[in-house]
Structure 1
């Protein structure tokens, strides 16, 4: 039981000391002068002084605190600073007279004074989001400090402190007297009683040593790593150092993390794993951890209520009040058993799974061989188009299957697509912890094990010490509390004889818990241990096979050539899409903001039907005579400006560019091509030769063949000449290259560029640039190639072709990407004269280019674009999204510029808006964080510091808002 002095100390206000009075103390006793600023504290006064040469912290505390306790704090800091592999630790500074601790009187009150060195850095408190690596580092930091204090002793450590979790119960009881909100007081009291009840039987096995006892997001200082992410590397505020439970140190750290957890208590697990890996914990400590976290959260909330009643002007306490209430809400939102299991699982000490082989049959009259197992997974054939969004789709599929077979069941452990949530910043609960069975009504059920009947309305529980069975849809005539033996009747499936009934069943190892029906993917390991499969109750294997994403990725890396990269270091396995949404095998929905290949969006039913019908009729190469190739070629030619009336059909953008270069060579009789720096045109030998983007090929600038002449990139944002008035300067760069080719006595084949600077993030070319360049090129006998693979075909919204923005007509247009919505399809559109020039070198052939399926797909894409007004949507939604992104630039200095138009936008991140230093690492971190929030985004540009925003053209305004909001969340909360 805490003594009276301890309880009285919990009621003390901060010392009544102003900044001016602190300045006097500093000058008189330490000979220091400088700028003074008060720092927050609950019961002390802390002041930072900046002398211009160094910074210090002046700490003033009340005389009621024993001097030997302050001496212990100083000694602990010196002890830790001498340890190897230790975090940064502040050090005590002696007063002018050599004193470690001063005694001063201010306003007739006696106080104790210390001066410490100041640790540079930023606390983590105000960073709402902490990455798992940061959480882990905080756990590791706590472990290092605990290890460093293991052999430290001092008489001042044997103290009574309100924060000592060994005394949590009595201290909370005292503090609760100050909580005026009756409901809040009752909730805190109930949580504290439950926590202490779980801690008490473990207390004898909890190790005791010197601990810091306050390593929180407030009391660590962090410095940014190369990604701009704050990483903790220093520990301050040793005011709570004490001899206490080792596990309490980790409990304090984890409690502080809960207000960064976005409601997810599993958020702490990286800290637990990191602490345990450096400073292994015993089983009792691991089991005590979550109850201690609940206790710490309860004391924090109650203490804040009390302190505000005593010291209502304490801004530090008021500022932390909301955080502490959030910690308590998260800590009490889940059962103790769940978090105990999660913690043990995290360090590899989870108990063995329950042996369901000991259970009997629940429905002995049902032949397991007759049960049809439905498929409600992401790849289910019963889920077509968007019927998965129907709230009743699971039961409809189940009922149809039962009508055909008599008995049908859903699968346990299945990630159900029907439970996905589009435009959701967190992964929803999709993992089924139960099974539903459609079967004849009045089918009898018997107890699969001995237990007690518990009724909660229509919900029935058969409860035993080892396991509980939760049932819905069973008529049970037994009384509440009735004891039954295994095999005894417990009821019949509800409904009239001859009708179809439904039964839901679920197992749970915690008798006090009514479990959820579904678990979030990240929590599956814990929940599936608590709620094992009920398949044994039916006598059939009703378990869904788990995803094999990691094994599939390993197979990919084994047999798929390494240069063929995938997005993300740990990519989700995506197997389905709908419109602008993609779904991984756990049912997680992602907003697709990068897929310019699927211009219509994913899973378009009209396109699927058209392609399927043509596949059923014919697919071959274009040397055969069939209608689709003539119709599609004619339709493509009609989309081009007058004079460009001849079409080549190919497989890809790279092949289209490659063919365009061959046409330029054939038409001109020359070889030299002028291209732009920072550009990307493809992967064939010729298209790669004119590509100079070092993001795609780090050796691009040193490996260009002699016939390629790259000129200065007309990047009006970060190029050597900036703004719309830079046209003449960039044109001069082209003129210089053309003159050099001419002076060398060589001919010019042509000039190639994207009509909008795509790879750099959609930067528009300077006004009039193409008109002047095209004129110079044609005057020298060259042809002008417009690479529209990424920026054309309606994506700009305001223009169907990118070159329309410049008011020019090229000689050759290359297209691909969206024209097939993912089907391998590309094209070159040019004049008859240029096309015929190639015949001098023989005929041209592309095996799959212009196949019947590709042509039908291409025409259907154009039909859908017209019928669904997708170009207009690109214009309107793109303009709206761009305005939202530009608004972010008003708030966040990292946003340098928003490029592009329509649904081809580039958001460029810079560390400095004057120097335009690219924020490359930050951009990578932002993309990874966006994936966590349900948005697929990737960087582009030579510096990989631009978000390349090019979603399907069906992007809705709601989806545009979600993207902007998630981006805002990342920029505000961190990554």
Structure 2
């Protein structure tokens, strides 16, 4: 590989500088184009001009020096073939001059200039897209692969000379630039990258398949366009650096450019590589050299940036990228084996083939391992779902450490072992949703033995100099032909020397005393299948997303403990749990999200899954005062330890709760029927209304949901549409001011929608079928978070009273202060609104199954003739104790007011998003019950149901839980706990904004 050849310094020559009048003369005389506007564009060796003529047609005129004629002829022929072979690929088309030539020469004083003109390709440079979705990256990788396939057969008799950016000449570029790097950190990083990866290129490049490549496929030359589903590739431009080269060069250039500025650069590279590989299958040699190519390209760009800065030359602003410098520094700390493993796995290959032989050898030889320590070993569960952390706030590291320490020290007769692969709360946490997931999956086994405990070699090996920060001892093992690995020991006072061969049972050292993290003394054992020379530190914990790669590089060392113990690696329950649901639950039983979450715990406004990942709960209206509220936990535990029975026994907590509950309702609503679910409460209300009136028909609002029993499913349009509407159920139009005939701008919308309900009353009366009841929700959840228009209920209630129709307020989802303006949803329509029945559930017990129907004494007495009504578990002492405590918490923590103020703040923030994202059609709600409706077109209001599901999945991936609702499944339903704060609202809206910006 050449090291210092000025032939590759074409970048230093710069571009010609023709005047504007000269450019216009070329356009007029050579191409017959009368330019309306000429605008200079960036260029390294070409003078580029954006041209618009009188018809609105757009072109790019490229003027270069005579040394570039050969390259221009080559590029023009290449573009012509691409236009023929890949007509669907948007690339510049070559425009012939008046003589029919693709490339022409013009004279400018005493110099000859080479000129050609291309059609303009519209689009936004990828560099200007701040957030790039996985789908966009996949589209970009696919485009690059299609481009490679299209150029594979291109041949030309006069290919251009290699240029500065040619990978074969990276040594030249780096040698010429490194001395000019003033930043010591960058210089050290570039030196490391050159020393580590350049030898790989020298050895591997000659063996790679070659083809004509774009060779400058960066984020400025890939153009994108925003569609309803986000950004997609619209074209590729600037083939000025095209030449024969290793085929994979384009992918390396593309990846090194797209990785800049990403918090997860390897994920970007892997996504691009997987898509490229699918479109243009790469050989294993190409995949194995791709990461070194990316690293060298990144080093070259960063070094050249520094060089041109020092020389005060910036012909192309792309060489001023601070992100390129930051990427080079980051890649310098990244072992090549790691980058290659991530890319290989993304492409469907074994991430690190040597690991397979090691794990197979372990499986066959576990029984022969010598004891590591003398005592028997037992596992201790330090995982995020472990019982040790029950009742502990995952955000309290000291409490977590105390619980872990107590659990570890609680073993008297055996040595506890922390398992491999455990996702631990004790690992560093994310500070905010949207940041990287925590690196909390443990990559070793921890043997918690007393300080001074002797540690012995489980198998033969040779002591190596560690050279890795934090690792006390490294043993190299080659127990069989083709099997090689290392074992790493941390927390050990070492008793062996470098170069020494140790046999099984040999004393390696003693457990050290100081852990520095608040946990008991231990020795951590890890296994490495890759050389450690490039590792400055061995990871202790890794992210769940990257787990597969790391398990290949640092596989499970548990077999080193021997087969005589019960210790095994940690395994997630999600797969077993999902399979169990498939076997034992009905097929129609739903789960949230395409990839379900195995929840382990909840606290305040957050869930925590078995991986220890935190999720902001903007969805779960059951937990009114937050998950695991300590006062509710204490109240339930205290009552459960005292008494729990059925309500045919007399206990004062039931009476006290009934008094407190009815005190929140209008006068007259004072008889409580305790049940277990909102469905039962609504079922009972219908039964009572039908019995007392002697009628069967019920008027409801379309798209409503009132429960799962036969009776309430028959009055729930969202349910009965699957099996047919009963003749006794009469849905009325949804009072939807966004989609309905009477909108937000109609001050009479409420009265107009009310007349549709009253019309249904009169129609049924005319048929001799006066309804028994009008059943409604005060805010329509199933219909899409529809807020009842002002003045809607008052005329309906007046008409119902005149006709002897009972009114049933379904407060199962919206009661207990959730709407902020009032304690009960129906009260938001005015003080004159007093239902005959109020049903409640869900939030009533903050997740504990309890519900109730409240009605008047006269109605209750009329129903008494049917005999006793009794629910075995309804109103049990534990339920009542929880209910009482919940009412106290609502008052003590002023949560109804919080729902009012923060709920409005949340909707204000969401409304601002509507100004930036066309997908947002409407934002509506009351208190902490809000909806964001997504549409593909704001004029037609075409529902964006598919997009809404994708947005919910993306939010889940970023640690925020929300889910669609509505007739078209295109409304985000936001129903967070009432302690949801402004910070939580900001967290939600910022994350949603980022997802909508990136598209999908």
Q: CA deviation at 1:5?
A: 5.7
Q: Hey, what does 1:710 align to over in structure 2?
A: 731
Q: What's the offset of the Cα at 1:522? A: 1.1
Between 1:510-519 and 1:404-413, the stretch displaced more is 404-413
Q: Secondary structure at the match of 2:321?
A: helix
Question: Distance in 2 between the 1:648 and 1:21 partners?
Answer: 91
Q: How does 1:692-771 map to 2 (within 5 A)?
A: 692=717, 699=721, 703-723=724-744, 725=747, 726-760=749-783, 762-771=785-794
User: Which residue number in structure 2 is paired with residue 874 of structure 1?
Assistant: 899
Query: Number of residue pairs matched?
Result: 965
Residues 28, 564 of structure 1: alpha-carbon distance in 2 compared, 3 angstrom cutoff:
farther
Distance 1:201 1:850 in 2: 78
2:481 maps to none
| Per-residue Cα deviation, 1:503-557 (whole angstroms, up to 9, x for no partner) | 2333333322221110111111121222223334433454333214234324423
Q: Partners of 1:765 and 1:839 in 2: how far apart?
A: 34
Say which is worse superposed, 130-139 or 702-711, in terms of deviation: 702-711
| Selected match of 2:605 from 572, 580, 587 | 580
Residues in 2 aligned to 1:281 and 1:274: alpha-carbon distance in whole angstroms: 11
Contact 1:414–1:543 (CA under 8 A) maintained in structure 2: no
Per-residue Cα deviation, 1:121-166 (whole angstroms, up to 9, x for no partner): 4443222333323323322222222222222211343521222112
Indicate conservation of the 8 Å contact 1:940/1:947, yes or no: yes
**Cα distance change, pair 60–714 in 1 and its aligned pair in 2 (3 A):** same
Aligned pairs for 1:504-653 (under 5 A) are 504-509=524-529, 510-512=531-533, 513=535, 514-539=537-562, 540=565, 542-612=567-637, 622=647, 627-653=652-678
CA distance in 2, matches of 1:359, 1:433: 19
Matched, 1:339 2:339: yes
Give the secondary structure class of the aligned counterpart of 2:663: helix
In 2 relative to 1, CA 325–361 (structure 1 residues): closer, same or farther, beyond 3 Å? farther
Deviation of 1:658 after TM superposition, in Å, equals 3.0
Contact 1:680 1:691 (C-alpha < 8 Å) held by counterparts: yes
How many angstroms does 1:243 deviate by? 0.8
Separation in 2, partners of 1:843, 1:23? 97
Alignment pair present for 1:475 and 2:493: yes
**Between 372-381 and 645-654, the greater mean CA deviation after superposition:** 645-654
Q: Which moved more, 1:805-814 or 1:421-430?
A: 421-430
Moved more, 851-860 or 508-517: 851-860
Instruction: Name the structure 1 match of 2:464.
Output: 452
Q: Could you tell me which residue of structure 1 aligns to residue 248 of structure 2?
A: 247
Deviations 1:389-419 (A, max 9, x none): 4435457534653453252221111111333
Give the secondary structure class of the aligned counterpart of 2:154: coil
Instruction: Verify: 1:405 aligned to 2:405, yes or no.
Output: no
Secondary structure of the residue aligned to 2:980 is coil
CA distance in 1, matches of 2:37, 2:861: 80
Deviation at 1:637, TM superposition (A): 2.1
User: 1:13 maps to what in 2?
Assistant: 14
> Residues 926 and 182 of structure 1: is their aligned pair in 2 closer, same or farther, counting only changes over 3 Å?
same
Question: Aligned in 2, Cα 1:118/1:942: closer, same or farther, shift over 3 Å?
Answer: farther
Do residues 812 (structure 1) and 822 (structure 2) align?
A: no
Q: CA deviation at 1:935?
A: 0.5
Greater mean deviation of Cα atoms: 29-38 or 197-206:
29-38
- Return the alpha-carbon distance in structure 1 between the equivalents of residues 904 and 493 of structure 2: 59
- Measure how far apart 1:741 and its partner are: 2.7
Distance 1:21 1:809, change over 3 A: farther
Change (3 A) 1:98 1:295: same
Provide closer, same or farther for how the CA distance between residues 108 and 861 of structure 1 changes in structure 2, counting only shifts above 3 A: farther
For 1:485, the equivalent position in structure 2 comes to: 502
Q: Aligned partners of 1:881 and 1:259: how far apart in 2?
A: 33
Contact conserved, 1:460 with 1:472, CA < 8 A, in 2?
A: yes
CA distance in 1, matches of 2:11, 2:265: 31
Deviation at 1:612, TM superposition (A): 4.6
Q: How many angstroms apart in 1 are the aligned matches of 2:668 and 2:354?
A: 75
For the residue of structure 2 that corresponds to 1:642, the secondary structure is coil
CA distance in 2, matches of 1:52, 1:927: 47
Q: 1:834 aligns with which of 840, 859, 874?
A: 859
Find the aligned partners of 1:57 and 1:366 in 2 and give their Cα distance.
76
Note if contact 1:819-1:825 (Cα within 8 Å) is conserved in structure 2: yes
With structure 2 as the length reference, what TM-score do the two structures score?
0.88
Is the 8 Å Cα contact of residues 463 and 511 (structure 1) preserved in structure 2?
no
The answer to whether structure 1 residue 83 and structure 2 residue 85 are counterparts is: yes
Structure 1 position 414 matched with structure 2 position 422: yes
Q: Is 1:371–2:383 an aligned residue pair?
A: no
**Whole-angstrom distance in 2 between the partners of 1:712 and 1:884:** 30
Q: Distance in 2 between matches of 1:913 and 1:48?
A: 34
Map 1:876-915 onto structure 2 (within 5 A): 876-911=901-936
Instruction: Supply the distance in 1 between the matched residues of 2:56 and 2:714 (Cα, whole angstroms).
Output: 56
- Shift of the alpha carbon at 1:39? 4.4
CA distance in 1, matches of 2:338, 2:594: 30
- Residue deviations 1:616-675 (CA, integer Å, cap 9, x gap): 666565556555544443432222111111122233223323332333323333333333
User: Displacement, 1:285?
Assistant: 1.8
How far has the Cα of 1:383 moved from its partner?
A: 0.6
* 2: CA distance, partners of 1:107 / 1:766: 77
Does the 8 Å contact 1:877/1:902 carry over to 2?
yes
1:666 maps onto 2:691 in alignment: yes
- Helix, strand or coil at the partner of 1:635: helix
Contact 1:761–1:905 (CA<8 Å) still a contact in 2? no
Q: 1:147 to 1:785 in 2, by over 3 A?
A: same
Unaligned 5+ runs, structure 1: none
Q: In 2, Cα distance between the equivalents of 1:305 and 1:526?
A: 34
CA 1:280/1:892 → structure 2, altered by over 3 Å: closer, same or farther? Answer: closer
CA contact (8 A) 2:4 2:175 kept: no
The alpha-carbon deviation at position 373 of structure 1 amounts to: 1.6
Q: Which residue of 2 aligns with 1:348?
A: 349
Q: Does the aligned pair in 1 maintain the 2:700–2:732 contact within 8 Å?
A: yes
Aligned equivalent of 2:238: 237
1:965 aligns with: 990
What is the Cα deviation at residue 715 of structure 1? 2.3
Residues 35 and 51 in structure 1, CA contact (< 8 A), matched pair in contact too: yes
Kept in 1, the 8 Å contact 2:231–2:998? The answer is: no
Residue 784 of structure 1 deviates from its aligned partner by: 1.9
Q: Helix, strand or coil for the counterpart of 1:748?
A: coil
CA shift, 1:67, in A, is 2.1
The secondary structure found in structure 1 opposite 2:423 is coil
Give 3-state SS (helix, strand or coil) of 2:930's partner.
strand
Secondary structure of the equivalent of 2:175?
helix
Assess, with a 3 A threshold, how the Cα gap between structure 1 residues 5 and 28 changes in structure 2: closer, same or farther.
farther
Is residue 72–residue 154 contact of structure 1 (8 Å, CA) maintained in 2? yes
- Higher mean displacement: 576-585 or 453-462: 453-462
Query: For residue 173 of structure 2, what is the aligned residue in structure 1?
Result: 171
Of the three residues 444, 447, 461, the one matched with 2:473 is 461
Aligned equivalents of 1:19, 1:563: Cα separation in 2: 70
Task: Name the stretch that deviates more: 410-419 or 34-43.
Answer: 34-43
Does the CA contact (< 8 Å) of 1:86 and 1:145 recur in 2?
no
TM-score by length of 1: 0.90
| C-alpha spacing 1:380/1:62, structure 2 compared with 1 (3 Å) | same
| Residue among 380, 383, 389 paired with 1:383 | 389
Evaluate the alpha carbon distance shift between residue 903 and residue 315 of structure 1 in structure 2; reply closer, same or farther with a 3 A threshold: farther
Is the alpha carbon distance of 1:639 and 1:31 closer, same or farther for their aligned partners in structure 2, counting shifts above 3 Å? same
SS in structure 1 of the partner of residue 448 of structure 2:
strand
Deviates more, 1:440-449 or 1:32-41: 32-41
Q: Secondary structure at the match of 1:299?
A: helix
Determine the C-alpha separation between the residues in 1 that align with 2:568 and 2:982. 40
User: Are 1:943 and 2:968 counterparts?
Assistant: yes
